[in-house]
Chains A and B, each alone.
Chain A
Amino acid sequence: MGLKTFPGGVHPYDGKDLSKSKPVTEYLPKGDLVFPLSQHIGAPATPIVAVGDAVLRGQKIAEASGFVSSAIFSSVSGTVKAIEPRRTTTGDMVNSIVIENDGAFTEVEYQECDDVSKLSKEEIIERIKEAGVVGMGGAGFPTHVKLSPKEPDKIEYIIANGAECEPYLTSDYRNMMDEPELLIGGMNIVLSMFPNAKGVIGIEDNKPDCIEKLRKLCESEPRIDVQPLMTKYPQGGERQLIHAVTGRDINSKMLPADAGCIVDNVETLISIYRGVKQGRPVITHNFTVTGDAVCNPQNYRVCVGTNFRELLEAAGGLKDCGVQKMIAGGPMMGFALFDLDVPITKTTSALLCFSEDEASKFEPTACINCGRCVEACPERLIPSRLADYAEHGDKATFEKWYGLECIECGSCSFGCPARRHLAQSIKTMKKLVLADKRKK
């Protein structure tokens, strides 16, 4: 298959060479661990431990409080120190379970499944739910919900999202290079639930070694294909990836299942394999610490709940040049941190430290109507006008010009020669409009 892609998009400097070749090392935390009860989309989990309880690594500490919710597991052994609001990467205070690490990492015994093929569909879903698997690319949508579409027979594609289009991030690259068998294993488990589906692993062509490796492994897998994708941001956006792989388009009101697709991040599929086959819950996450201000950019397998500051110190800390900006996640869609004392969750995959902050280096100037935001927008919007409507508070026109279709990828701001904060204005307005809709 040739290179596939989507219309629009931008080509930011990719910076992956900083950490690409560093193999994943397991990082065992030393300090306290913090587990926010809401690290997924849906209802926050309900704690099932109390302050003072002893817990083991891999033990469930909070359970899903509804269908669209997810369980949370301790990644260390120790005692529950507190259940209180703690700051998370977005700056919000979220109720969290704090566990004092005893440093022993005593694990619970996992219920391995000898023959996955004998499991029924319901049993697979149950095991995925019991492993607390959520979309690990960043969205955090509970995977057992995603894998329970209304009409399973109409699912034609299971797409593994290995695009990793965000610059600087290499955690998924390492996932695919280091554990391709688990990825294929996870894909096969999902495929077993959808008889009419074929598996596609979508990878940007800036990772040729990944493509080659997975292709070789997939030679004996009749139902799985590897699809090289053009290296372009946001190739890993769900709607963009579906377009590239299948040519089908969905909008904000549709689900991938409406186009016969289910899209999962590669690490999510690996977690599905671990959960279903090995009975291991999600307690670790591949994580990249990188940026020009970090002494030793690294890829880690970190325990969920680990403190950002501790991990940065493990990577040698900051260079003398100082740091202007720290980001949880990628540079295009990640959150700027104002405090490093926040925990790593199931969905954070990177800490970036930059010695210079490009976003505030430039003053916004007048829009010259050049249309670069229009060319860049993967959703075929007119970002400059949407930002105007947002700034004028014109909700009706904002909606009429499809403002709610924005996927918040930031391509418009990236390309704007007038340095306008287009994505920021549009995102804010989108929140306001959606809040209005909820009230009605």
Chain B
Amino acid sequence: MSDLLHVTSSPHVRGKDDTQRIMLYVIISLLPATVFGIWNFGVHALILIIATIASCVLSEYIYERLLHKKSTIRDLSAVVTGLLLALNFPSTIPVWMAVLGGMFAIIVVKMLFGGLGQNFMNPALGARCFLVISFTGYMTDFSGYKDYVDIFASATPLQTIKAGGSVDVMRMIIGTTPGTIGETSAICLLIGAIFLILMGVIDLRIPGTYILTFAIFALLFGGHGMDFRYLVAEICGGGLLIGAFFMATDYVTSPITPSGKIVYGIILGLLTGIFRIFGASAEGVSYAIVFSNLLVPLIERWTVPRAFGITRPKKGGEAS
């Protein structure tokens, strides 16, 4: 009988959540914004989403096949990357560009650095930045939103504000504005975020400090004073909500230390503020996150928590 017994080190029981389930939660949480994006921008948005996800999953599969590695596509992380990347596209870009973006995200940003858990940069945002720099015209063309009677025409709300115009805050909250496929609807994104928080996938440390820091920065330097409408527009506009809740919280590329998460959120808020208010573009979230990703190892090193029961070292003495 004894040769049938399993012998392992303790603990002998395990929790229910695994990587695949967490990724599934993220996909579910993005569905409201996805469905709204398809409704808002039409069938081409749907085609782009499918093409990007397929490109990401296939890239990972073929890469691992060619290198004789065990396939990891079942963990669903490539699906999450594809979906997030697609939600960051304007609805008008050609399908080949979406496919290229998916390949870049998976192969260059993720797999070349060792696959899931090893990439230092959020794959979806890395690919988006690559595409924005390479095909600026396509990637900043928001004319896909066909509502010509409206002053929004083809400028995103943030571009309108930057140009000195005023925006309809209510429409921004619902999401019937131009923008990338998944970023426009604040309400849909928040529903997804609340779901993720309730499922224990993310907490408010990163998105909370990020949005709060950015809000304070915008109040101080935005040049609109205590204008509540301006503040709501800045928070709901552009990629801030999707970035703060779904991309800055990417486990792999954010700090693991509890206080590091706060520091990271503050840096994100400051960078986004600087890029949006002082930069040439109305947008700044992608670059802020990608840049902050690079700081993560440093932040972690500075914020290693003192273990339980370890007191602050006394002057000239050893920590006890």
Contacts and interface: CB of A to CB of B under 8 A. Distances in A.
Contacts of A254: 309, 320
A408 to B, nearest CB: 8
Would you call the interface of chain B mostly helix, strand, loop, or mixed?
Answer: loop
B208 to A, nearest CB: 15
B308 A362 contact: no
A107 interface: no
Interface string B1-32: 11011111111111101110110000000000
A400 B15 CA distance: 29
A358 B2 contact: no
Contacts of A416: 14-15
A368 B307 contact: no
B11 A414 contact: yes
Contacts of A337: 5, 7
B117 interface: yes
Nearest to A168: B13
A417 interface: yes
Contacts of A323: 4-5
A334 B12 contact: yes
B84 to A, nearest CB: 15
Interface stretch (A187-195, A280-288, A420-428): A420-428
B24 to A, nearest CB: 11
B6 A325 contact: yes
B252 interface: yes
Contacts of B304: 382, 401
A26 interface: no
Contacts of A354: 12
Interface stretch (A27-35, A199-207, A263-271, A371-379): A371-379
Contacts of A10: 15
A331 interface: yes
Contacts of A367: 117
Contacts of B115: 366
A418 B19 contact: yes
Contact of B308 (A357, A358, A371, A405): A405
A334 B10 contact: yes
Contacts of B256: 369, 371, 374, 382, 384-385
A184 B132 CA distance: 73
A433 to B, nearest CB: 15
20 contacts: A13-B13, A239-B308, A251-B307, A326-B5, A333-B11, A334-B12, A336-B5, A336-B6, A338-B7, A357-B12, A360-B6, A368-B116, A370-B251, A372-B17, A379-B309, A382-B305, A414-B14, A415-B17, A416-B14, A424-B9
